[in-house]
Amino acid sequence: MKIKNSIKSLRKRHRDNRVVRRRGRLYVINKTIKRYKARQG
């Protein structure tokens, strides 16, 4: 999982990417391509 300052650019990498807020952190998750996981904060 990558930890990034800006999640907006990571969200645009694939059309299945979703931005999810969990426990005060922003996560990018992708069910089809698992390597696109990232978090911010």
The model's pTM: 0.80
Q: Identify the band that residue 20 occupies on the pLDDT scale cut at 50, 70 and 90.
A: very high
Can you give the pLDDT at residue 41? 79
Mean pLDDT to the nearest integer, 4-32: 93
Averaged confidence pLDDT in the chain: 93
Mean pLDDT to the nearest integer, 8-37: 94
**Closest C-alpha to 13, from 25, 35, 26:** 35
Give the residue numbers spanning the domain of 12.
2-40
**Closest C-alpha to 18, from 3, 5, 7:** 7
